[in-house]
């Protein structure tokens, strides 16, 4: 009974210690140098440079169409909000109806590109990984600590973002904000589309089944609340796009910006499956055979010599 009680009392402490140990391990891993966890980074010093397609034609077209649609949304949305319909006046229709029509159909198109077209080309055709990976955490941690002066910037970071693994078919490092932008812009555009349809459902006098379906948020929130959410997210998204443009035109990123126009970038070619020099040769049975450099003869050779000694009556002749 006492043993059981002791075990029960020790379990929470051991669990707590285990959680803390795992947390410390994760922190150390996040702060580790990328070279320590990815041997492909060490190949950058001697890697071959070659032109590699970073963005396919479909990816580039969808990106720039998405950009044009976004600025159309900003223009027409600002016109509807302020009542200033410069260049949108069209005879008997008036600026409001023109702005509203362009805004609604542009929103539908940008949502389709954001959730269907662009992900198809970016993820499935170009093979860009958009889920969080260890390298993203390590690079993000290093950049954040360097930004506040706790460590120096990674000297190989610029090249690592341009390193292409031929075996994996992927770039070995990305700026952490690149993936963050991809996910948050998609989330915000999705909410903007839903709040927009919610407002339209509340204001229209002749609704249709698909407007009722997509405008389901009107059943949850008041019209004024939908307007406030829509306006706030539109502002946040516009700021994110401005920062996206700012980082894209930095001189250090001109080659990446060029790849969004022409497709290719001068990449470092690295290999995840490359055998290291001096690797052990497999034996006939499929396992590694120790070499003389490992401290002597192989086990099978020693066993053969032992058998020969036994056959000679225990006498051994050293040559």
Evaluate whether residue 232 is within a structural domain.
Answer: yes
Evaluate whether residue 289 is within a structural domain.
Answer: no
Domain containing residue 150: CATH number: 1.20.950.20
Residue 30: the pLDDT is 61
Contacts of 249 (CB under 8 A, 6+ apart): 257
Evaluate whether residue 14 is within a structural domain.
Answer: no
Burial of 9 per CB tally in 10 Å (0-12, 13-18, 19+): exposed
Residue 77: the pLDDT is 92
Structural tokens at position 64: 């720039």
Structural tokens at position 295: 């401290």
Question: What are the pLDDT tens digits along the chain (319 aa)?
Answer: 444 444 445 444 455 567 777 767 666 666 666 666 667 777 777 788 889 888 889 889 999 999 999 999 999 999 888 888 877 777 666 788 888 889 999 999 999 998 988 888 777 776 676 666 666 666 667 766 766 666 666 666 677 778 888 777 777 766 667 777 888 888 999 999 999 999 888 887 777 887 888 888 888 888 889 999 999 999 999 999 999 999 889 888 898 899 999 989 888 888 876 544 344 444 444 444 444 444 444 444 444 444 444 444 444 434 3
Residue 16: the pLDDT is 59
Domain containing 221 equals 46-270
Evaluate whether residue 253 is within a structural domain.
Answer: yes
* Cα 189 to Cα 81, 108, 111, 117, 201, distances in angstroms: 18, 10, 7, 14, 18
Q: Do residues 290 and 298 lie in contact, with contact meaning Cβ atoms separated by under 8 Å? A: yes
């Amino acid at each position: 009974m006492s043993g059981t009680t002791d075990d029960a009392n020790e379990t929470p402490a051991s669990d707590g210690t285990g959680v803390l140990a795992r947390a410390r391990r994760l922190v150390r891993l996040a702060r580790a140098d990328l070279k320590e966890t990815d041997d492909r980074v060490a190949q950058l010093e001697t890697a071959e440079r070659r032109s590699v397609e970073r963005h396919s034609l479909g990816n580039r077209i969808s990106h720039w169409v998405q950009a044009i649609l976004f600025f159309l949304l900003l223009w027409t949305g600002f016109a509807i909000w302020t009542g200033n319909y410069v260049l949108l006046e069209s005879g008997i229709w008036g600026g409001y109806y023109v702005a509203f029509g362009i805004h609604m159909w542009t929103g539908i198109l940008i949502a389709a590109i954001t959730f269907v077209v662009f992900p198809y080309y970016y993820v499935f055709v170009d093979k860009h990984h958009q889920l969080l990976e260890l390298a993203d955490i390590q690079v993000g941690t290093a950049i954040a600590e360097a930004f506040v002066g706790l460590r120096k910037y990674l000297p190989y970071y610029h090249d690592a973002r341009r390193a292409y693994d031929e075996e994996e078919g992927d770039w070995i490092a990305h700026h952490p904000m690149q993936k963050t932008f991809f996910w948050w812009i998609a989330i915000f555009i999705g909410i903007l589309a839903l709040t927009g349809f919610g407002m339209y459902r509340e204001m229209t006098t002749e609704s249709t089944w698909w407007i009722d379906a997509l405008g389901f948020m009107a059943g949850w929130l008041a019209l004024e609340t939908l307007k406030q959410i829509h306006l706030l997210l539109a502002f946040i998204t516009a700021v994110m796009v401005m920062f996206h443009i700012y980082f894209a035109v930095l001189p250090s990123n001109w080659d990446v910006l060029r790849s969004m126009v022409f497709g290719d970038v001068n990449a470092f070619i690295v290999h995840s499956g490359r055998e290291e020099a001096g690797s052990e040769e497999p034996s006939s049975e499929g396992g590694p055979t120790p070499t003389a450099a490992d401290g002597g003869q192989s086990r099978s050779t020693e066993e053969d010599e032992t058998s020969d000694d036994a056959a000679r009556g225990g006498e051994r002749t050293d040559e």
